[in-house]
Structure formats: C-alpha cells, structure tokens
Amino acid sequence: MIPRTLFSPEHEIFRSTVQRFIAQEIAPFHAQWEEDGIVPRELWRKAGAAGLLCCSVPEEYGGSGADYLYDVVVFEEMARGGFTGPGFMIHTDLVSTYIRSFGTEAQKQHWLPRMIAGVAIGSLGMTEPHAGSDLKNIRTRAVRDGDDFVISGQKVFISNGQLCDVLVLATKTDSTAGAKGITLFLVEGDRPGFERGRNLSKLGMKAQDTSELFFDNVRVPATNMLGEEGQGFGLMMTKLAQERLAQAIRSAAVTEAVIEWTVEYTAQREAFGQTIADFQNTQFKLAELKTESVAGRIMTDRCIELFMRGELDAIDAAMAKMFLSNLHCKTVDECLQLFGGWGYMWEYPIARAYADARVVKIAGGSIEIMKYLIGRDLFKNLKKLPKPKLAAAR
C-alpha cells in the first residue's frame, strides 16, 4: 500500500478524537436521523465543543487556526462511516470559507465564532428550480430600497436548509447584466418573509435535511452584502476548486471504506463450499477497484497539497471531482453485487452507501459540466497555434 504523507502525528491524534466523537455521538443515532430526515441541533453544539467545526478558522475569530488538513480529517472520517446526515462539510468548507474570504470584519466577528461553536448553522443558497450548474440564470432578485435590499425568489436542494441560521444567498441585483449582475448576501434564518419549504424526500443522504427555501420581500440591510455588488459570480468561481476538492475527498474516503467492507464480508460469506472471496471473480474485481482507489487517493492527496499552497486550479479540481465521483459510484455498485441479496437490505451499510453515492455525479457540478470544462481547456490554446501549411497538390 502506498503510504500517505500528508498528515503529521498531530493530525492522526485529532483523527482519533474525531473517530471517538463519531462512535459516541453519531453512529448510535444515525439510523433514527435517517427516519427523521434531519439531525438534532444539539449534535452541532456537541461537534463545536469537540472542535470538529471550521477547524482552520483563525484564532481571532474563535477558531483553532489549524491547517486545512484538520478539516480534511473530519470530512474523511464522516465519509468512511457513511454518516451523511450532519451537513458539516457545507457549513465548514463553504459557508465559513465565504465569510472568511469575502466578509467584512463585522460579519466575521459576528458569524464565525457562532459557527465554530455549532450555535449558528450555515447553508449555501445558490441552486434554483431553473438554475443548477448555470448560476448566471438565477432569478432570485435583490432590489435596493434605501439602505436595504428586498429579496424575492426561491431556492431548492439546499443542504442544512431546515436548520440554517445564516445563508450565503446568491441573488440578481441587475437582471440585465448577466454574471455581472449577481450579488451575494448573508441572510439570517429568522428574517421576516424567509420561509422554509418542505424537507425534501431524497433517494439517499436521508438524514441530511435538504430544503426548498422561499423569499417573499425579505428585507436585509446593505451591510449584509458579502463582497461588492455585482461581484457575486466572480466570488463563487473562486471557490469552485475548493468545493470540488471536498467532493473528491469524500468520494475517495467512501471508495476505500466500501472496498474494506466488501473484503471483510466476502471473506466470511460462503457459497458452494467456499467463501465468496475464494472465487477468482471476487478477487479480480476487488483487485481492480483497489488499484483504482489507490490511484484516486494519490490524485486527491496531490490536489490537497496544491490547494494548501494556493496552486489548485479549477481544471485539476474538476478532473479530481470527475474521476473520484465516477469511481465512487462504480465501486458501490460492483461491491453491492458481491454482497448479493443482503447488499440490497437497508440495514447493511453498503445499501445506504449505494443510495448516497448517486448524488456525487450531480452535486458540486455535474459530471457533464466537469467534462465540458476539461475538454474546453484542452482546446483553449489551439487558436494561438500557427496553422499547419498544406503541401501543394501535384
């Protein structure tokens, strides 16, 4: 096994802390949360007290000032256990990052300590019924009225939507300016006119609340603006690499875990006088998946290194996201087959992993969008190349 070299002994000590927290506070209750469609707010406060939220936020805002790898440890351990209910990744990797990167000092001082403690839960409001990957087409409007903006519109598929206390909301402040007309706001969850729709019933990730959100003339002060007016699209683009890297990190961890579960199961399950693991088909299939998972892990770890140095570009992140998402779905499908009928039973983690996996080809940018971006990048320099001279016909 090719060793990982990213993590220090201190990171591994923290990993043990995260594992104990999951074993005590999440694993015994996650099945019930899947029935409920939501996790309790108390879990967020416990996670905050244990230091699992927003690990890399600087000390001046109440954080530990740790490096990004501490957040990675949390993402990996949650993914390995198949615990998709607590929306820690959205909260930590996106919402707190937007506030840290683009917020005013007052916004940072107000929200970051609360998010670190798990007292305030963050969510990201971008997707709409008519605008998914193409964010330029959002219709939620924010109209200036004196020192305020009045927001009207709708969002959908919003993780942490039922629980959120603060929402990073993408709006149109100029409907004629395309991408340059998009502005981000921090919207509090108790603003008059802000309504949470139904908690959506999904194929997988059943314990994570996912909502429709409605904005009926929600009035927010201009001081709630995140960044400058009309800069929202550009700000969102700067965070795409980080978002897609987080998706790859999760998929890499799930892929490895599923292979481990399958090795353990097939080594015990018997058929026709031998274990399932004794069949050549089982060994060959798992050998292929293991090799691909190691390749995916090396790719992901390299992207983490680049990100921490500020060198991860959008195309590298798109390739990692595409490769790991496809591998994630392939692995849970082929491993479930080796579980036979038991793999179809919800009580087995492989069944839940199968249901949870399908969204990774959609969330954070669909596979088709990743292919488009990578393909476009391959050909971007062709216009700059001299055209080859054709030999004259003889």
**Sequential DSSP letters for 217-241:** EEEEEGGGEESSTT-HHHHHHHTHH
CA distances from 337 to 93, 151, 231, 278, 356 (A): 34, 49, 48, 16, 16
Q: Is 196 strand, coil or helix?
A: strand
| Catalytic option among 34, 77, 243, 292 | 243
Q: Are residues 98 and 140 in the same domain?
A: no
Q: Are residues 204 and 76 in the same domain?
A: no
What distance separates the 2 farthest-apart alpha carbons in the chain? 83
Q: What is the pLDDT of residue 119?
A: 98
Write out the residue range of the structural domain in which residue 290 sits: 239-378
Sign of CA dihedral 274, 276, 277, 281: positive
Q: Are residues 211 and 104 in the same domain?
A: no
Given the structure tokens 């959609």, which residue do they identify?
362
* pLDDT tens-place string over residues 273-309: 999 999 999 999 999 999 999 999 999 999 999 999 9
Residue 390 pLDDT > 60, yes or no?
no
Report yes or no on 385 lying in a domain: no
Question: CATH code at 289?
Answer: 1.20.140.10
Residue 387 pLDDT > 80, yes or no?
no
Given the structure tokens 């892990």, which residue do they identify?
297
Q: How many domains is the chain partitioned into structurally?
A: 3
Q: Are residues 62 and 138 in the same domain?
A: no
Contact 357, 329 (CB under 8 A): yes
Q: Are residues 80 and 114 in the same domain?
A: yes
Q: What is the pLDDT of residue 302?
A: 98
Question: How far is Cα 166 from Cα 94, in angstroms, rounded to an integer?
Answer: 12
Report yes or no on 148 lying in a domain: yes
* pLDDT tens-place string over residues 91-144: 999 999 999 999 999 999 999 999 999 999 999 999 999 877 778 889 999 999
Residue 9 pLDDT > 50, yes or no?
yes
Q: Are residues 252 and 296 in the same domain?
A: yes
Report yes or no on 163 lying in a domain: yes
For 244, other C-beta atoms within 10 Å of its C-beta total: 27
Report yes or no on 326 lying in a domain: yes
Tokens of 115: 């998010």
* pLDDT tens-place string over residues 310-355: 999 999 999 999 999 999 999 999 999 999 999 999 999 999 999 9
Q: What is the pLDDT of residue 394?
A: 47
Looking at residue 336, its amino acid is L
- Of 151-160, 217-226, 258-267, 384-393, the poorest mean pLDDT is in 384-393
Given the structure tokens 């615990």, which residue do they identify?
83
Question: CATH code at 170?
Answer: 2.40.110.10
Looking at residue 102, its amino acid is F
Q: Are residues 252 and 182 in the same domain?
A: no
Q: Is 243 a catalytic residue?
A: yes
Question: CATH code at 57?
Answer: 1.10.540.10
Rounded to the nearest 10 degrees, the angle between the axes of helix 240-268 and helix 349-357 is 150
As a whole-number percent, the residues of the chain with pLDDT over 70 amount to 97
Q: Are residues 222 and 257 in the same domain?
A: no
As a whole-number percent, the residues of the chain with pLDDT over 90 amount to 93
First to last CA, the chain: 60
Tokens of 255: 């892929």
* pLDDT tens-place string over residues 170-179: 999 999 999 9
Q: Are residues 226 and 244 in the same domain?
A: no
Q: Are residues 204 and 266 in the same domain?
A: no
